[in-house]
Each structure stands twice: as C-alpha cells, then as structure tokens.
Amino acid sequence: GENVEQHPSTLSVQEGDSAVIKCTYSDSASNYFPWYKQELGKGPQLIIDIRSNVGEKKDQRIAVTLNKTAKHFSLHITETQPEDSAVYFCAASREGNNDMRFGAGTRLTVKP
Amino acid sequence: EPEVTQTPSHQVTQMGQEVILRCVPISNHLYFYWYRQILGQKVEFLVSFYNNEISEKSEIFDDQFSVERPDGSNFTLKIRSTKLEDSAMYFCASSVGQEGEQYFGPGTRLTVT
C-alpha cells in the first residue's frame, strides 16, 4: 500500500521567511495530494491540494509542487506569519480510493 | 460556513466497554470517513462510508469497529470492546464526492483506562 514520508518533523523560521515541507510517496498510482493544517485542539483543515495532472498550484502565499517522476511533492509558504504556526500534514490517495495516507506531520513555528 | 461537528469532544471509558463516537457531516456531503490519530503519530484512515455501506476500510478497522448512519444526519463509530491501544483522537470527515476535498471535524479524544 501507499507510504508517505514527510520531512522535516519540526521547522522553525523567522516571520517573513519562507518555509518548505517535503513529502515522498511510494504508490505511483496515487494522484491526489492534499495538504492539511492542524492547529492545537482542532481537526486537520485542507489548505491546498494538487492532482497529478498539474505540476504546481498556488494560492496566495501557499504553493504546492509535484514531481510525479520522483514521487515527491512539496508545500511552500512564503512571507510566513506567526499565525502560520501549526502542524502541517501531507497526504496521498489514488483516484477512486478513499484510503488517504498521511505523512507524519511537520510542526512549523514562526517566530515574530 | 458549514462544518463537520463531533461529539463528545472527550470520552473516557474503561477497557472492555463499548463507546459510540458521533459525527454530523456537512449536509450535502455523500461520503463519510473516520480517521484516528494516536498521540504524536500520523493520522490513520479507518473507514469510508457511502450509500449506507462501507466502501473501504483499513487493516485497523477490525471486527471491534462498526459504523452506522442511523438517521439522515448522524454518522457514528462504535468500538465494541475498547482496548488501551484504542486511546487516540478520532476524526470524522466528509466530502461531496469520492474525489472531493475532505472536511474534518474537531475530533473526539478517546481515553481508555
């Protein structure tokens, strides 16, 4: 089955800097890659997703890139703000398959 | 904005007891899911549910677990005889379609003593 690896496990950046979180997946049939933000005491919230028919997607300060050949995808947050501090999870699933596999999470801390 | 709700927020139970975790998915969503997250670990898929039946389940979802949609709004996860290792956050999620975005609830923290 699918295995998703996520790095780093913790990331600390200065406000205004960029943050990059990377994930790899094992199942070449996976074609949907969401990113979730989880704040303390809350459930994961979808922040951006990408499907395998595109290589990059951007939404304001957040972007995701996908390299299907290498089977990795990354989350990029620019101009980080303290409210970006949270745990971020990547995930992967296959079209028609609800079994979404999550990475282990990255705890991002943005220092003011 | 519509959201997934879950009750209770925290459930403490003794080993061997049955628990029922409740979820109210977003009203126009057709696919429902349960995930669990053991403290400090990954979010793990348990089961998906569509058209009043299980569409997929993981190896975690054994005979101790069951899901039900008893009425038009609630979606429940039952653990028949809880074990210590069932202690975790349990998240419910829902989506419009099979490939749609999944919206997560705030979770129920289950503590088995």
How far is residue B85's CA from residue B15's CA, in Å, rounded to a whole number? 10
**What's the N-to-C CA distance of chain A in angstroms?**
41
Contact check, Cβ <8 Å, A98/B56: yes
CB contacts < 8 A (A, B) = 54
Note whether B4 contacts A: Cβ–Cβ < 8 A. yes
Cis peptide before B106 (omega within 30 of 0): no
3-state SS, residue B54: strand
d(Cα A67, Cα B70) in Å, to the nearest integer?
43
Mean pLDDT of chain B: 93
Q: Which residues of B touch A43 (CB under 8 A)?
A: 4, 6, 91, 93, 104-107
Q: What torsion do the CA atoms of A8, A36, B100, B28 make, to the nearest 10 degrees?
A: 160
Using a CB-CB distance cutoff of 8 angstroms, which residues of chain A are in contact with residue B48? 98-99
pLDDT in tens, chain A (112 residues): 789 999 999 999 999 999 999 999 999 989 999 999 999 888 899 999 998 888 999 999 999 999 999 999 999 999 999 999 999 999 998 876 678 899 999 999 999 9
Please tell me the distance in Å from B94's CA to the nearest CA on chain A: 11
Peptide bond just before A8 cis, omega within 30 deg: yes
Q: Tell me the one-letter amino acid at A111.
A: K
Instruction: Please indicate whether residue A62 or residue B101 has the higher confidence score (pLDDT).
Output: A62
Amino acid at A102: F
pLDDT at B86: 97
Alpha helices in chain A (DSSP H): none
State whether residue A87 sits within 8 Å of chain B by CB.
Answer: no
Which pLDDT score is estimated for B79?
Answer: 97
A100, two tokens = 């979404």
Question: Residue B55: its pLDDT value, please?
Answer: 92
Average pLDDT over residues B30-50: 93
